[in-house]
């Protein structure tokens, strides 16, 4: 007789036809990766032959074939009825005695190893499952907390029957699998007591952008079903693979989810979903060492299989150990062409109604349809936007009809997110409060084209889309680089043709993510405004040292951008707020004086060494030191803005060394903005202090012509092509080249004006940095300019 039971220790990935992808992968990992220190819970597989024996002895084959022949394969209007009749007959079937005996025997061997009667997880594993191009995520049933021989055998039968879940029938039809040939194996695996700890999902690439150098880990308290079902917004951690390889601190981003539910085992069997204690909701489920361990394991699993992987992990609340409980190929980005990109952008502003995690990049519009269960599927019309609390695999057959999917719960590894990626639909998950502000029939626009946060706007807004094909695209010799502010866009933008980031604006991170004046964190106890103190307490509630809040937030944002473009250089400009902008931060008004002309006032280098801001600058430097030294992202370079005199430059360089950032150490380069006429007039002196220049064309034009760049009245005079401005630019380029220093320019003019691009390249500039929406046009202008100069 063919094997009906095979222990994991005898299974390999080549056994997919016998035990399905899930079980074959577990056996492969148990044999090949467990010896490397990756913990895999032991278990065994009930084979596809056992399933076929069950079908044969219960004379089910003809019955199933007949029922499937009745299926409406156009609208699937009777899918639920066909599924129900097949499953009902299968659940009444008798497990063959020989199979029951072998399941009992294998279970007893597991219990004998452990010295006690065990709880096990019982998971379905279809023979076409987990192959590239088809995740089968959640199509078949899994059961947790199963104990005892009789209960185990009954659960195996329930898994067999789940092969004919309505969602699974529809999924196989969509994927083109022969509905009569597929069989089902069942995996029986030691339970990890994650109900007493935590669990979650790892992707060995960023699942949204396809960025391959990062591992995304999500986690929640209790059992991971809450993540898969989208019942909670989980914690998210990003681990940078090159930092792991160098033995450096590799956690580049940590975002706490609300984790409002904790799924635990019930004493009566099955599971309960309990409210999470509010204090526990705010705590991360993993510490940095555990995050990095999962990151290393994910890389090892990816390397073993030679492809990006979707991995489930669990932590045992009794032993404290981490385990990998499942691994399957990632099925979306593995099939995408990395050189093809469709870029969307809104051309209209609108009223923001709600937001959440963006799944898929694009923009669409449609009417909202609120549904509360898959039973209401017939109410959804083609092109409507589905809004619901959470989805599960029963929703799959109707999700393709929606123009977009909105869920009020869930994270980037929830069921709704995974299926939306697979079917190519836009989705926003974790849009808390959406059901309070939206109703059926509302016309809205979904914008998933502006970073990790998807936004829902009122009405139908206008947008544009452009198809890009980067294959074989020629890059100019002069480096095209990005001007970048928002870290959430970094992974996506890294796929564009580029030579790194010529200007990362620190101010965006401080104003959008941190929101608090750094001196208000340093001197929190001295704050006079009680309302602002309360706001700061709320934002920093998980930090005993409020200064650590600033360093954490800033270092993670900078690390995300620096990692996205690694090993290309990323030039971070230290903070360049004006005093009025600093005053608008929480707690800022107490530390800023009113200036008549903030543009020419207390800004840039002058702030850094002044007693009124020196301690704030120390926080900026500590964040940068952490990124470069602790995380190993030495491609990060620094830039000092609005440095009026060489003496100021020396003061700042010296101060930065005191704060742990020594010029030249570990390749640290420090540049200066060339944006004041004195930077040009004394360029040779600045060149002896700094490693390079970046021309800030807006301020340089303003200060050369004496024109307020924001003046509507004098707008026509403000022109980078003015002879005086161009002399300034050509002169600083000349000095930089003579001194062997790098020099670039950040600004819009080279993309708007081909002649200005030609002028810069003719002067010998090293790089030109563009905003994302101007990069491709800028590259085109640069290539034409280089050809024209050459000819």
Q: Are residues 257 and 330 in the same domain?
A: yes
Mean pLDDT score, 762-782: 92
Question: Last residue of a domain, which of 468, 492, 510?
Answer: 468
* Backbone phi, psi, residue 621, to 5°: -65, -40
Q: Which has the higher per-residue pLDDT, 147 or 661? A: 661
- What is the reported pLDDT for 142? 87
Q: Are residues 659 and 729 in the same domain?
A: yes
Give the 3-state secondary structure of residue 709: coil
| Crossing angle between the packed helical segments 61-69 and 48-57, to the nearest 10 degrees | 90
CATH of the domain at 505: 3.20.20.60
Q: Are residues 185 and 200 in the same domain?
A: no
Q: Are residues 111 and 208 in the same domain?
A: no
- What is the reported pLDDT for 18? 92
- Say whether pLDDT at 134 is over 60: no
CA distance 777 to 762: 18
Mean pLDDT score, 354-380: 91
What residues does 253 pair with on adjacent strands? 238
- Say whether pLDDT at 712 is over 80: no
Q: Are residues 683 and 739 in the same domain?
A: yes
Q: Are 491 and 208 in contact (CB under 8 A)?
A: yes
Tens of pLDDT, residue by residue over 585-607, are 999 999 999 998 898 999 999 99
- Say whether pLDDT at 132 is over 50: no
The domain in which residue 297 lies consists of 195-334
Tokens of 381: 């019309």
Check 140, 333, 415, 517 and give the catalytic one. 415
Banded pLDDT at 129 (limits 50, 70, 90): very low
25-29, 134-138, 233-237: segment of lowest average pLDDT:
134-138
Banded pLDDT at 127 (limits 50, 70, 90): confident
- What is the reported pLDDT for 521? 97
Q: Are 147 and 201 in contact (CB under 8 A)?
A: no
Q: Are residues 641 and 772 in the same domain?
A: yes
Q: Are residues 129 and 231 in the same domain?
A: no
Banded pLDDT at 112 (limits 50, 70, 90): very high
Mean pLDDT score, 140-169: 91
Q: How do 570-573 and 501-505 pair as beta strands?
A: parallel
Question: Domain total for the chain?
Answer: 4
CA distance 359 to 257: 17
Q: Is 540 a catalytic residue?
A: no
Q: Are residues 123 and 203 in the same domain?
A: no
106-115, 122-131, 419-428: segment of lowest average pLDDT:
122-131
- Say whether pLDDT at 361 is over 90: no
**Consecutive H or E run containing 742:** strand 742-746
CATH of the domain at 386: 3.50.30.10
| Crossing angle between the packed helical segments 79-91 and 149-161, to the nearest 10 degrees | 150
- Say whether pLDDT at 131 is over 50: no
* Backbone phi, psi, residue 218, to 5°: -120, 150
Q: How many CB atoms lie within 10 A of CB 725?
A: 20
- What is the reported pLDDT for 130? 44
The pTM of the full predicted model, rounded to 2 decimals, is 0.88
276-290, 323-337, 483-497: segment of lowest average pLDDT:
323-337
47-56, 128-137, 373-382, 728-737: segment of lowest average pLDDT:
128-137
Q: Are residues 217 and 152 in the same domain?
A: no
**Cβ-based burial of 742 (10 A; exposed 0-12, middle 13-18, buried ≥19):** buried
- Say whether pLDDT at 564 is over 70: yes
- What is the reported pLDDT for 133? 46
Tens of pLDDT, residue by residue over 5-22, are 999 999 998 998 899 888
Q: Which has the higher per-residue pLDDT, 145 or 477? A: 477
Taking the CA atoms of 203, 28, 248 and 314 in sequence, report the sign of the dihedral they define. Answer: positive
Banded pLDDT at 716 (limits 50, 70, 90): confident
Residue linked to tokens 């903030």: 598
- What is the reported pLDDT for 136? 54
- Say whether pLDDT at 137 is over 90: no
Question: Last residue of a domain, which of 468, 494, 513?
Answer: 468
CA distance 634 to 60: 64
Mean pLDDT score, 282-294: 97
50-59, 385-394, 520-529, 753-762: segment of lowest average pLDDT:
385-394
Comparing C-alpha atoms, which of 723, 761, 759, 756 is closest to residue 743? Answer: 761
**Average pLDDT across the chain, whole number:** 92
Q: Are residues 716 and 736 in the same domain?
A: yes
Cα 298 to the center of its chain, rounded Å: 16
Tens of pLDDT, residue by residue over 211-225, are 999 999 999 999 998
CA distance 474 to 786: 12
Q: Are residues 206 and 155 in the same domain?
A: no
- First-last CA distance in the chain: 79
Give the 3-state secondary structure of residue 190: strand
Q: Are residues 350 and 387 in the same domain?
A: yes
Rounded to the nearest 10 degrees, how much is the dihedral formed by the CA atoms of 769, 775, 781, 786? Answer: 50
Contact residues for 192 (Cβ-Cβ < 8 A; gap 6+): 41, 199, 314, 315, 316, 323, 325
Check 198, 220, 540, 746 and give the catalytic one. 746
CATH of the domain at 258: 3.30.470.20
Rounded to the nearest 10 degrees, how much is the dihedral formed by the CA atoms of 371, 375, 378, 380? Answer: 20
- What is the reported pLDDT for 180? 53
Q: Are 588 and 514 in contact (CB under 8 A)?
A: no
- What is the reported pLDDT for 568? 98
Tokens of 673: 């903005």
Question: Last residue of a domain, which of 468, 485, 500?
Answer: 468
Q: How do 198-203 and 214-221 pair as beta strands?
A: antiparallel
Q: Is 202 a catalytic residue?
A: no
Q: Are 465 and 344 in contact (CB under 8 A)?
A: yes
């Amino acid at each position: 007789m063919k094997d009906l039971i095979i222990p994991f220790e005898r299974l390999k990935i080549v056994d997919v036809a016998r035990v399905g992808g899930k079980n074959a992968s577990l056996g492969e990992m148990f044999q090949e990766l467990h010896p490397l220190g990756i913990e895999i819970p032991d278990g065994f597989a009930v084979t596809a032959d056992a399933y076929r024996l069950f079908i044969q002895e219960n004379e089910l084959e003809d019955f199933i074939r007949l029922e499937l022949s009745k299926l409406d394969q156009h609208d699937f209007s009777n899918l639920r009825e066909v599924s129900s009749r097949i499953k009902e007959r299968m659940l009444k079937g008798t497990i063959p005695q020989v199979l029951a005996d072998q399941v009992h025997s294998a279970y007893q061997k597991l219990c004998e190893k452990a010295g006690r009667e065990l709880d096990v997880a019982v998971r379905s594993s279809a023979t076409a499952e987990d192959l590239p191009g088809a995740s089968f995520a959640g199509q078949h049933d899994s059961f947790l907390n199963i104990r005892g021989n009789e209960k185990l055998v009954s659960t195996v039968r329930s898994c067999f029957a789940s092969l004919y879940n309505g969602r699974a029938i529809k999924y196989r039809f969509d994927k083109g699998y022969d509905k009569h040939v597929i069989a089902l194996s069942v995996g029986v695996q030691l339970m990890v007591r994650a109900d007493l700890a935590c669990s979650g999902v790892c992707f060995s690439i960023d699942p949204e952008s396809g960025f391959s150098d990062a591992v995304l880990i999500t986690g929640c308290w209790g059992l991971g079903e809450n993540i898969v079902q989208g019942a909670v917004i989980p914690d998210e951690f990003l681990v940078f693979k090159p930092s792991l390889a160098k033995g450096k601190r590799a956690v580049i981003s940590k975002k706490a989810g609300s984790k409002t539910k904790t799924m635990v085992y019930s004493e009566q069997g099955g599971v309960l979903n309990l409210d999470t204690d509010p204090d526990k909701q705010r705590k991360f489920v993993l510490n940095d060492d555990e995050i990095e361990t999962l990151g290393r394991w994910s890389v090892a699993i990816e390397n073993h299989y030679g492809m990006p992987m979707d991995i489930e992990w669990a932590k045992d609340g009794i032993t404290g150990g981490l385990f990998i409980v499942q691994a399957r190929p990632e099925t979306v980005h593995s099939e995408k062409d990395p050189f093809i990109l469709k870029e969307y952008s809104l051309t209209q502003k609108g009223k923001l109604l709600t937001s959440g995690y963006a799944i898929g990049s694009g923009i669409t519009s449609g009417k909202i349809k609120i549904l509360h269960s898959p039973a209401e599927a017939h109410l959804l019309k083609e092109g409507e936007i589905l809004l619901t609390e959470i989805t599960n695999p029963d929703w799959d057959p109707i999700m393709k009809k929606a123009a977009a999917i909105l869920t009020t719960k869930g994270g980037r590894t929830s069921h709704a997110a995974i299926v939306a990626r697979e079917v190519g639909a836009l989705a926003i998950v974790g849009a808390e409060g959406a059901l309070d502000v939206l109703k059926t029939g509302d016309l809205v626009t979904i914008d998933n084209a502006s970073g990790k946060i998807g936004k829902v706007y009122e009405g139908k807004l206008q947008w544009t889309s452009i198809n890009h094909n980067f294959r074989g695209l020629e890059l100019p010799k002069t480096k095209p680089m990005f001007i970048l502010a928002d870290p959430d866009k970094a992974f996506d933008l890294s796929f564009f043709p580029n030579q790194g980031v010529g200007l990362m604006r620190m101010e965006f991170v401080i104003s959008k993510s941190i929101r608090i004046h750094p001196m208000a964190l340093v001197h929190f106890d001295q704050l006079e405004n009680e309302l602002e103190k309360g706001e700061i307490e709320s934002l920093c509630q998980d930090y005993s040292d409020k200064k650590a809040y600033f360093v954490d937030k800033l270092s993670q944002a900078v690390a995300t951008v620096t990692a996205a473009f690694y090993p290309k250089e990323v030039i971070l400009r230290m903070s360049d707020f004006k005093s009025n902008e600093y005053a608008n931060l929480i707690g800022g008004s107490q530390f800023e004086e009113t200036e008549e002309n903030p543009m020419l006032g207390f800004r840039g280098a002058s702030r850094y060494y002044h007693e009124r801001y020196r301690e704030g600058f120390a926080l900026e430097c500590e964040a940068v030191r952490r990124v470069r030294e602790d995380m190993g992202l030495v491609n990060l370079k620094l830039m000092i803005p609005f440095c009026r005199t060489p003496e100021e430059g020396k003061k700042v360089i010296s101060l930065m060394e005191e704060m742990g950032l020594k010029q030249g150490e570990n390749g640290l380069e420090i540049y200066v903005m060339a944006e004041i006429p004195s930077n040009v007039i004394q360029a040779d002196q600045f060149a002896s202090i700094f490693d390079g220049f970046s021309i800030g064309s807006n301020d340089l034009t303003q200060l050369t012509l004496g024109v307020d760049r924001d003046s509507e009245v004098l707008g026509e005079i403000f022109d980078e092509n003015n002879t005086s401005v161009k002399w300034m630019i050509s002169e600083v380029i000349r000095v930089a080249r003579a001194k062997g220093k790098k020099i670039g320019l950040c600004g819009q003019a080279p993309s708007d004006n081909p002649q200005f691009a030609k002028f810069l390249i003719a002067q010998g500039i090293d790089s030109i940095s563009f905003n994302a929406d101007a990069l491709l046009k800028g590259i085109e202008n640069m290539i034409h300019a280089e050809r024209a100069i050459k000819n």
